[in-house]
Amino acid sequence: MSEDLPEGWARTTLARVCSHRSGSSKRIKGKLHAGAGPGRYQGFSASGPDVWSDTWDHEGEAIVVSAVGARCGRAFKARGRWSATTNTYVVWPRLEAVELDYLFLYLDNEGFWAKGGSAQPFVKVRETFERPLALPPRPEQRRIVAKVEALLAEVNASRARLARASLLLRRLRRAVLAAACSGRLTEDWRASGGAAAADGLAEGLPGSPRGAVHEGGAASGDPAPRLPASWTVRPFGALVDNHDGRRVPVRAADRERRRGPYPYYGASGIIDTIDGYLFDGDYLLVAEDGANLLSRSTAVAFSASGRFWVNNHAHVVQPKAGVVLGYLEGFLNGLDLQHHVTGSAQPKLTQAALNAIPVPLPPPEEQAEIVRRAQAVFALAGPIEERVAAAAARAEKLPQVILARALSGQLVPTEAELARAEGRDYEPAEELLRRIPGGRLKPGAKQTGDAAAEEAAGSAAGRRRARESA
């Protein structure tokens, strides 16, 4: 026994306890059925069990591995009668020594597989199968699998709860901003005498209201939010000065040579530093393109102050007199942009579309009060969001931690320990390896409990039986 293995375990290789072959080159995913149906058998492609065929090539337990593509190394369990397409590898465990579910812990790990290629990665099967495998006794294999499955179920449940909490926190922010920019957040402030009409401010701004509905009245045209009487509505472009013409993109290779003290902004915030600056002052940056315009995983509008550089993926604006930058920032971050964005593969918020967005505008004093109140709520939510994000990051790492402990004998009591405690004998893994026949298991053969090879997978006889069964 190796010193670095638990008692009763043995060091071996995948090649010793497995047999493998490529998926059938005659089975092409696009030529198979996309859905299940009477007389059809499960098929496995490089994407998983997502096809069906009228015949079957293999019968019994095996593991199908994605052999080509960005996610090569993913593994899927196959049982019963099934087939595997091109771009896959099929792995049969030698059941005298290793449980399929225990082997799956090794193979369903993209990082375990040796790989080649860059533009189109592929698994190196021969090199991978010479890698070591720590083999415990059979009963211990089953206990390890059961423990791993139970722990991963708990991890997945926790990740789902954390994802839900993160979603609720994002909705809270959106709800606060929606209430802020409709006047609900400052109702008591106006009732106490804080309100002052924004008409004077509006008169100095170009553009016209877009059908705003004020308290106590209605306006014709498209439906619009009900706003306080002291508010008005103006297009975004009328409230800001746009400085997009001053933006200059710099390639990553050039930025590498120009590292400096000034932040370099893109669509999602600071992405680098640089040795010069284009802007000096207080500005609002708004994402111009990217999936985040619709997914909203991060803010689409953010303030930038001091000296900085901006590429051509973020609009650069400055509020006009009487317009509070933080109010516009909050308004855009609470706004659903799906009706203002063009493109699907690469969503884009053009300058014209941004300028046309109608903005409900309170008086300057109320804008400032809205910003203060919203920031107070976010100051309470911020630490919670940080804790949720930290917990989610830890949860993402837990599966690999659990797997590492499982495959090193640290997750459950060893069979040797239990046997001593119960006063019985046990079969160590070395004995399991001695039970493997000297000849190699015939790839693709149907396997029974004692691993007898009955006939080659994909044979004419196998396909004939499938037609007869159908």
Q: For 187-291, where are the alpha helices, taking DSSP H only?
A: 187-189, 199-203, 236-239, 252-257
Q: Give the Cα-Cα-Cα angle 209, 212, 214 (nearest 5 degrees).
A: 125
Query: What is each CA distance from 220 to 209, 248, 355, 435, in whole angstroms?
Result: 11, 43, 22, 86
Q: Using CA atoms in the order 200, 205, 208, 213, what is the torsion angle rounded to 10 degrees?
A: -40
How many Å separate Cα 152 from the centre of its chain? Answer: 17
pLDDT band at 211 (very low <50, low <70, confident <90, very high): very low
**Is the pLDDT score of 429 beyond 90?**
yes
pLDDT band at 190 (very low <50, low <70, confident <90, very high): very high
Residues 19 and 224: their CA atoms lie apart, in Å, by: 67
Residue pair 394/171 in contact by the 8 Å Cβ criterion:
no
pLDDT value, residue 62: 96
Q: What dihedral do alpha carbons 42, 45, 46, 47 form, nearest 10°?
A: -60
- Over residues 245-299, the pLDDT tens digits come to 999 999 999 999 999 999 999 999 999 999 999 999 999 999 999 999 998 888 9
What pLDDT, in 10s, does the model give residues 193-207?
Answer: 876 655 555 555 555
Greater model confidence, 443 or 269: 269
Q: Which of 31, 107, 98, 52 is nearest to 76 (CA)?
A: 107
Name the 3-class secondary structure at 436: coil
The string of DSSP letters for 233-261 reads: EEEHHHHEEE-GGG-----HHHHHHT--S
Q: Tell me, what's the pLDDT at 139?
A: 96
Is the fold of 10-137+431-469 the same as that of 197-362?
A: yes
Is residue 155 scored above 90 in pLDDT? Answer: yes
- The two tokens of residue 229 are 């009487």
Least confident of 1-5, 55-59, 423-427: 1-5
Phi, psi angle pair for 135, to nearest 5°: -110, 115
Task: Report pLDDT for 193.
Answer: 82
- Give the per-residue pLDDT at 223: 47
Residue 194's region, left for phi above 0, alpha for psi from -120 to 50, else beta, is alpha
Residue 89's beta-bridge partner residues? 22, 65
Q: Which helix (H) or strand (E) holds 51?
A: strand 48-53
Task: Give the whole-angstrom CA distance, residue 202 versus residue 154.
Answer: 56
Give residues with Cβ within 8 angstroms of 441, minimum separation 6.
19, 92, 94, 447, 451, 453
Question: Please, which residues bridge with residue 309 across strands?
Answer: 264
**Per-residue pLDDT for 119 more than 90?**
no
User: Among 64-68, 109-113, 130-134, 200-204, where is mean pLDDT lowest?
Assistant: 200-204
Taking only the tens place, the pLDDT of each residue in 302-354 is: 999 999 999 999 999 999 999 999 999 999 999 999 999 998 778 999 999 99
Average pLDDT of the segment spanning 63-87: 93
Taking all residues of the chain, what is their mean pLDDT, rounded to a whole number?
Answer: 87
Q: Is the pLDDT of residue 407 over 70?
A: yes
- Where exactly are the structural domains of the chain? 10-137+431-469, 197-362
pLDDT at residue 235 tops 50? yes
Q: Kindly report which listed range (183-197, 236-250, 360-374, 388-402) carries the lowest average pLDDT score.
A: 183-197
Give mean pLDDT, residues 40-58. Answer: 95
DSSP codes joined into one string, 153-175: HHHHHHHHHHHHHHHHHHHHHHH
Euclidean distance between CA atoms 182 and 155, whole angstroms: 40
Task: Please report which confidence band the pLDDT of residue 27 belongs to, taking 50, 70 and 90 as the band edges.
Answer: very high
Beta bridge partners of 342: 348
Q: Is the confidence at residue 218, as pLDDT, over 50? A: no
Using a CB cutoff of 8 Å and minimum separation of 24, what contacts does 211-217 make? 212/358, 212/360
Predicted pLDDT at 208? 46
- Of 3.40.50.300, 3.30.70.141, 3.90.220.20, 3.90.870.10, which CATH number belongs to 197-362? 3.90.220.20
User: What mean pLDDT is predicted for residues 208-225?
Assistant: 44
Distance (Å) of CA 316 to CA 283, 312, 319: 7, 9, 10
Mean pLDDT of the 361-375 span: 95
Q: Measure the CA–CA gap between 365 and 193, rounded to whole angstroms.
A: 12
Evaluate if residue 467 carries a pLDDT over 90.
no
- Residue 355: predicted pLDDT: 97
Mean pLDDT for the stretch of residues 135-150: 97
Report the candidate in 399, 407, 437 with the shortest Cα–Cα distance to residue 103. 407
Neighbouring C-beta atoms of residue 239, cutoff 10 Å: 23
Whether domain 10-137+431-469 has CATH 3.90.220.20: the reply is: yes
**pLDDT confidence of residue 296:** 84
Say how far apart CA 257 and CA 412 lie, in whole Å.
Answer: 53
- Whether residue 366 contacts residue 194, with contact meaning beta carbons closer than 8 Å, is answered with yes
Binned at pLDDT 50, 70 and 90, residue 71 comes out as confident
**Is residue 52's pLDDT more than 80?**
yes
